[in-house]
Structure 1
Amino acid sequence: MKSMKIAVIPGDGIGVEVMEAALHVLDSLDMEFEFMEADAGDACLERTGTALPEETLEVVGESRATLFGAAGESAADVIVRLRREFDLFANLRPVKSLPGVPCL
């Protein structure tokens, strides 16, 4: 079976912890993945002078999917640029009502 390339961008703050958990889940599947880590976010901005380096865009462009953790103050810069570069037009946020749980 051919492995699926997945760009992994932990980003900042809780993104690092969330990404570790997500990768643990994917590792438990009976599938082949090639995880390609890339950098983005506030820490990246402080280190490199840009919140979303060209190298990260290249990694995302070479992948079949991208996992993005979180970004701090630079989140809008990172997310908007990723959407524009890769012609992404939807920001889906699934919602599910649970029986017995009051909701609006």
Structure 2
Amino acid sequence: MKKAAVIRGDGTGLELVDSMMRVIGAMSPDIEFVPCVAGGEWWKENGGDSLIPDEAWDLLHETDAYFKGPTTTPGAVGMADGADAIIRVTEQTIAEGITTYDLGGSASRSDMTDAITGHLE
């Protein structure tokens, strides 16, 4: 069984990610969703110099995939970039051989399903 870390985010992220998990679960039920906490709300409660705790980074690298919902950027000193930007830049830096796909605006439901589940096989 494949594992996917899930950063639910905060605000609207909670509802969006819950809906996404139901859809992905229906398409590929052999995925274990592993909760992962990061973002502005986590930072407000815990502080620190990053919106992403070390435990979250460990989990993101241990799982086969991850999903991230919208997160709040608190705007504190040193927090110019939100959690999404931090993850994107960091992962782009270390993932040189990984292929990404642009399905464009004309992708069918089947194309999208294949693209999502294909990365987890």
> TM class by shorter-chain length?
0.7 to 0.9
Q: Structure 1 residues 51, 32: closer, same or farther in 2, change over 3 A?
A: same
- Report the secondary structure of 1:11's partner residue: coil
Structure 2 match to 1:53 = 53
Q: 23-32 or 3-12, which moves further after superposition?
A: 23-32
Stretches of structure 1 that go unaligned for 5 or more consecutive residues are 98-104
Q: Distance in 2 between matches of 1:83 and 1:7?
A: 15
Percent identity of paired positions between Structure 1 and Structure 2: 24
1:4-53 per-residue CA deviation (whole Å, 9 max, x = no partner) reads 11010011211111010011112213531111111111110111114210
Correspondence for 1:83: 88
Deviations 1:40-86 (A, max 9, x none): 11110111114210111011011111100011225824123323443
Change (3 A) 1:5 1:41: same
Map of 1:41 onto structure 2:
39
Between Structure 1 and Structure 2, the one with more strand by share is: 1
Whether contact under 8 Å (2:5, 2:66) holds in the other structure is yes
After TM superposition, the score normalised by the length of structure 1 is: 0.74
Instruction: Give the 3-state SS of the residue equivalent to 1:28 in structure 2.
Output: helix
Aligned to 1:72: 72
**Residue identity matched to 1:96:** G
Distance change (3 Å), C-alpha of 1:93 and 1:9 = farther
Q: Which aligned segments of 4 or more residues in structure 1 are displaced greater than 6 angstroms?
A: 89-93
Q: How many residues align?
A: 95
Please list every run of 5 or more consecutive structure 2 residues that lacks an aligned counterpart in the other structure: 75-79, 107-121
